Every structure is written in structure tokens, then in C-alpha cells.
Amino acid sequence: MTVGRPPGHLRREVGLAGAVLLGMGSMVGTGVFVSVGIAAGVAGPAVIPATLAAGLLAAANGISSAQLAAAHPVSGGTYEYGYTWLSPVLGFTAGWMFLLAKSASAATAALGLAGYSLDALGYAGEGLRVPLAAAATIAITAFVAGGIRRSNRANALIVGAALLGLVLLIVTALPVALSSGAGRFTPFAWGGDAASGLGAVLHGSALMFVAFTGYGRIATLGEEVRDPRRVIPRAIIFTTAVVTLLYLGVAAAGVGVLGATAFGQAAEQTAAPLVAVADALRRPWLGRLLTLSALAAMAGVLLNLVLGLSRVLLAMARRRDMPAYLARVDEARSSPVASVWVCGAAIALVTLVGSVEVTWSFSAFTVLVYYAITNLAALRLPPGKRLFPRWIPALGLVGCLGLAFFVRREVWLVGLALLLAGVAWHVARRRLAGSA
């Protein structure tokens, strides 16, 4: 006899390979095709240790996420963990920060997708980037609303195409970078003294950290993963390790070929810095391949971010932190269609900002706050549910809170204001509900 799933819940149809592909599809995208260049413009050649530091912090956070997802395998990620192991206010704060952070990150992916598309068409201006980004977001949202099974199949193709282009870039560019000596890698950090140089490195680490947070897609899909206690930790750890090596290779190639300043300028001006690397190498075929890889990868990022955002919105609606109609699941497609469309519309609106540096920096602050709550929740796990030692989430908590305030001051001030506004709304809503 087959036992059906409860009404309103999602099917467990994602195995280890599918979970890894979901994580890779979220991580191998904007972070490597756009934000490595943004971070190089901030940290200089020290983008390499900045990337390594971000990867190590991401590994600690990934382990915390894995423990929590194994102990509490439902959709919603840290929003649910905050409610379960901390408090309703911190649970809501996590969900609110996730929605803000990943909407900004998805908007960066959409702008990057538009930038690479326009470069492929030979269009040098910036006037079409924003409308094209918004249109791409709506198209991908429609695709995701059709159900996760169809999305997973597309994700496998997207990840394969992205990895092919990036590996060929590294293999082609690194010999050129190494033959030029250490000139492009010195001075190793911006700034006239050690303190300012360290600040630049930490700023770069904060920006690069966002590029590693795709493992969160695995945790937020916990309700759809088979054998989550075994699959989720393995998928997160494996994905983070592979992507760290990939990002280090691309950072070294970009700085070694273009120099950190030019690499950063290409990211901000065109949102297509890896094509600039290929142009400098005089490999037109590589530029075309990277463009195709970037288009596939950032489409995959959008796809996975809409998936993750909609599942958190679904969880928040189940607790009535969001309108109740967003908790409905289309049984035929096993998809929360209303939540998917609300998330897609929000991302399209954020693309109107137009600057990848601004959207990515805002995502850095808000996502670091989100993962600080993740680590705090992991610290509260009882011994019987703990898979790893407590010093790992403690390290993640300190690292996230420390890096969050190394992004641009105006960015974290806006993020902090939105955080407080969300908490105030949540507290007011609960008081009204209690007095009704």
C-alpha cells in the first residue's frame, strides 16, 4: 500500500544528485560570472584570500544548515529553524532577511543575464539592460511555477554548460597569468596601510560570501528531499568544496589576465567581466562559450532563487506571517504557484535599481544577518540532534556578524532600517492578532 503525502505538502522527489545540482545551479552563476569581478574591484588581488575566507565561512554555515535541515526537514530554511529553536521574532527576522537578500541576489543575476545577452548581441549601451532583466525574470518565474520536477531537469543542463565554460576559461587563462609573473598580484591588498588593506579584504569576503550561499537552496527544499538526514549534509559539503576551488581559479585567472582594477570595472560597467577576460586573451571562441555558459548559469540562478524564495514565502504564509493564500499548493504540479509569482514580481521590481554593485552589496548584508541566525539556531540544537561540534556554528555566527558591517555604510544602514521595519510590523501584527 502506498502512503500518500498530507494535503498541502510537497512530494519528496529530490535525491543526492538532484540536491547537489540544485546547490551547484544556485552557486555557479552570478557569483562567478559577475561578483568575482565586483569583489576584485574592492579587494584588489587579495580577492583570492577573500574568496578563500568566504568559502571557509560558507562551509561552517553549510554545516550548520545541514544539521538544522536534518533535524527539521521542512521547507522554509532558517525561518522554520528560528521559530523552532529560537523565538518567533528571530524566526520571522530570518524569513524577512532571506526574502530581502535573495530578491536582491536574484535581481543581480537577472541584470547579469541581461548584460551577457546584450554583449552577445553587440549592444554597447545600458538602456536595455533593466527591461531585459525584468522580462527574463518573469519568463523564468513562469517556468518554475510549472513544478520542481521540470525545473530539476533543466538545472542539470544548466550546471553542465556553466562548468564547461568556466573550466575552459581557467585552463586557458592561468598559463597566461602565471607567465606574466607576480606583477598583477601586487600590491596584494588595496589601501595605504595594513588596517585599510584588511578592511578591503573583509569587504571583498562579504561580497564573495553571497556567491557561496546556494547551499541554502538545498536546506530550504528539505520537505522535497528524500532521506534528508543523510542527503542534505553530504550535498551541502560536497557542493561548497567544489565551488570554492572553481571560484579561486576564476579569480586568479581574471586578476592575472586583466588586473584587479580592469576586472572590477568590467563587472560594474557591463555586468559581463569574464567576456572581458576572454577578449584580453584574444580567444573569441572562448568569449562566445562563456557568454552561453553565463546565460545558462544565471538563468539557473534565477530558477533556483525563485524556488528557494517561494518555499520560504510558503512557510511564512503557513504561520500567517504572510497572507494565507500564499500557502496554497497546486496539487497537480506540487508547486506553490501564488508564492512563486509573488517572488518573481518582487525580483523584477528590484532589477529597476540597475546597478549590480548595489544589489549585490545589499544582498551581502542581509544574507549575512540571515546566516547569523542560522548559526545561532544550530547552537541551540540538543546533543541528540547535533551532527557536528558546537564550535562550528559559533565560528559561523561570529564570522557572519563581523563581515556584515564591512559592506558600504549606506547599504548596511538601509538593510538595518528594513530589518527593524520588518520586526516592528511582525510585533504589531502579533499584538493585533492576540487582541482580536
3-state secondary structure of 171: helix
Provide the Cα torsion 133, 137, 138, 142; round to 10°. 150
Among 110, 18, 40, residue whose Cα is nearest residue 297: 110
Q: Give, in order, the Cα–Cα distances in Å from 96 to each of 120, 397, 418.
A: 36, 18, 9
366 residue type, one letter: T
Return the closest-CA partner of residue 35 out of 188, 300, 304, 264: 264
pTM: 0.84
Tell me the average confidence (pLDDT) per consecutive run of 10 residues in the chain, 436 residues long.
49 71 74 87 89 90 83 74 91 93 92 88 79 92 72 68 87 83 63 61 92 72 68 80 89 89 85 88 88 84 82 83 83 78 93 90 94 94 86 94 92 95 87 68
- Residue (of 354, 377, 46, 390) closest to 203 by Cα position: 46
Output the pLDDT for position 10. 58
All domains of the chain in start order, with CATH? 16-426 (1.20.1740.10)
Strand partners, 330: 335
Asked if 149 contacts 13 with a C-beta cutoff of 8 angstroms, the reply is yes
Amino acid present at 105:
S
Contact, 38 vs 251, CB < 8 A?
no
Q: Which residue has the cell 493564500?
A: 325
- pLDDT for 200 equals 86
Task: Let me know how long the chain is.
Answer: 436
What's the rounded Cα separation, in Å, for the pair 185 and 173?
15
Q: Do residues 286 and 194 lie in contact, with contact meaning Cβ atoms separated by under 8 Å?
A: no
> Per DSSP, what are the bridge partners of residue 335?
330
Question: Helices 129-144 and 148-179, interaxial angle, to 10°?
Answer: 140
